[in-house]
Amino acid sequence: MPYVSPPSDVTREHAAKRLAALATPPGALGRLGELGVWFAACQGRVPPEQPDRPGAVRLVIFAGDHGVAAHGVSAFPPAITGAMVRTFLAGRAGVSAVATAHGVEVRVLDLGVDEDFDDLPDDVRAALQAHKVRRGSGAIHLEDALSATEVRAALDAGAAVAREEIAAGAQVLLSGDMGIGNTTPAAALIAAGLGLPAAEVVGRGTGVDDEGLARKVAVLEAALTRAGERVADPIETLAALGSADLAATTGYLLGAAQDGVPVLLDGLMSVACALTADRIEPGAVAWYAAGHRSTEPAQSLALAKLGLEPLLDLGLRLGEGSGAVAAVPVLRSAVALLRDVALLSELGA
């Protein structure tokens, strides 16, 4: 796998100097100042270019089913995964609405949904399933999620998708998720990456009750026990505890870092994959910023480990990439400040 180079230190210093030279009180731009400097370093350009052209910000939603969903870990039945994929295709989901409002392109891919979408027109179905790895993923407390071959296929698929999006003009990439039961494998990736027990990483997802939460903890405990020392290796972790959609998301985030395109992360799934990507290629995280704080405890734990602090905390627990999309205008505010505010020197001060 190609090496990840960090964003340019020289550009970062240059951008920090521009920030200090703006006609604003020192530090007055707060996190927007830091964010603009990071983005400039990622772009290698001062001032940074505003990512507001059509197609400049692109979200890919990786959809897949999860064997654990048949074991009472979710408030929703697995059939919802496919139904929501159809809603994304129709542009009527939550993230569709927010993405349209902020000029973000949305693409949905079936990496591991447990159905064939036979009802869809051939061209739509072909595009949706262009990178499909398998139907569903193994129930991680009973069996591996993926074979070693499938993990490699999913990682490669994700990286290829990132490159397709970059070729289409992406200046910022976002990742989104759809898959009933996916918070369980995502929490497993974080437990594995941080060496934490199940009870510390499990949350209520889209809304399980107390019994469901206890089942989730039990499933995750069994999964971590089953995986054993394999969790020391991030690729083995994806095979044992992940899924096709999460492995592809990890590949996508790695591809973005390898090709030097900054990413706004979303919630639990996105951050679990970012953590895994950074385990595979240490330093990949330098290309990522956190869009939104999840209500899931594991996301905050992983973000702390990665040294990231979310831009937004609006109590969203919709998934789909919605938290990342909602944070896009915050990034644009940061770029506007670093790019368009007068320099003190221009004001003759």
Question: Are the CB atoms for 242 and 102 separated by under 8 Å?
Answer: no
* Interface residue with a second copy, options 2, 121, 207, 228 (CB under 8 A): 207
Distance CA(209)–CA(74), nearest Å, equals 9
* List 54, 122, 123, 347, residue binding a second copy (CB under 8 A): 347
Binding residue (CB under 8 A) for a second copy from 6, 94, 169, 212? 94
Check binding of 97 to a second copy (CB under 8 A). Answer: yes
Give the sheet arrangement for strand 57-64, strand by strand.
105-112, 57-64, 172-178, 263-265, 288-290
Between β-strands 263-265 and 57-64, what pairing exists: parallel, antiparallel or unpaired?
Answer: unpaired
Q: Does 87 bind a second copy (CB under 8 A)?
A: yes
- Between 96 and 249, name the residue whose CB sits nearer to a second copy: 96
- Please report whether residue 101 would count as binding a second copy according to CB under 8 A: yes
Residue with smaller CB distance to a second copy, 1 or 79: 79
Q: How far apart are the first and last CA of the chain?
A: 51
Alpha-carbon distances, residue 5 vs 66, 255, 260 (angstroms): 34, 12, 8
Are 89 and 83 a contacting pair, CB within 8 Å? no
**Is-contact 239 246, C-beta < 8 A?**
no
CB of 187 closer than 8 Å to CB of 236: no
User: Is 50 one of the binding residues for a second copy (CB under 8 A)?
Assistant: yes
Asked if 206 interacts with a second copy (CB under 8 A), we say yes
> For residues 76 and 117, which CB has a smaller minimum distance to a second copy in the complex?
76
Q: Is 195 in the site for a second copy (CB under 8 A)?
A: no
- Residue 253 engages a second copy in binding (rule: CB under 8 A): no
**Residue of 90, 167, 195, 229 that binds a second copy (CB under 8 A):** 90
Q: Is 337 in the site for a second copy (CB under 8 A)?
A: yes
How far apart are the C-alpha atoms of 206 and 251, rounded to whole Å?
A: 25
Contacts of a second copy in 269-298 (CB under 8 A) = 295
In the bound state with a second copy, the residue whose beta carbon lies nearer, of 242 and 321, is 321
Does 129 participate in binding a second copy (rule CB under 8 A)?
Answer: no
Instruction: Give the one residue of 16, 19, 29, 159 binding a second copy; rule: CB under 8 A.
Output: 29
CB of 92 to a second copy, least distance (A): 4
339 is an interface residue for a second copy by CB under 8 A: yes
Among 22, 106, 170, 253, binds a second copy (CB under 8 A): 22
- The strand ranges marked E within 151-297 are 172-178, 263-265, 288-290
By beta-carbon proximity to a second copy, the closer residue of 32 and 172 is 32
| 54 counts as binding a second copy under rule CB under 8 A | no
Cβ neighbours, 10 Å, residue 102: 14
Exposed e or buried b for every residue in 182-215, given b needs 16+ CB within 10 A? bbbbbbbbbbbbeebebeebbbbbeebeeebbeb
Closest approach, Cβ 312 to a second copy, in A, equals 7
Window 59-78: residues binding a second copy (CB under 8 A)? 75-76
Pattern of binders to a second copy over 303-322, x per CB under 8 A?
A: --------xxxxxxxxx---
Interface segment toward a second copy; rule CB under 8 A; list 3-11, 22-30, 38-46, 193-201? 22-30
Q: Nearest 5 degrees, angle CA 114-CA 118-CA 116? A: 15
CA distance 35 to 87: 33
Among 148, 157, 188, CA closest to 273: 188
**Which residues are marked as active site?**
320
Q: Give CA–CA dist 320/57, Å, rounded.
A: 15
Q: Should residue 53 be labelled a site residue for a second copy when binding is judged by CB under 8 A?
A: no
Q: What token pair was written down for 191?
A: 């437990």
Q: Would you tell me which residues interact with a second copy (CB under 8 A)?
A: 22-32, 50, 52, 75-76, 83, 87, 90, 92-94, 96-98, 100-102, 206-207, 295, 311-319, 325-326, 329-330, 332-333, 335-337, 339-342, 346-347, 349
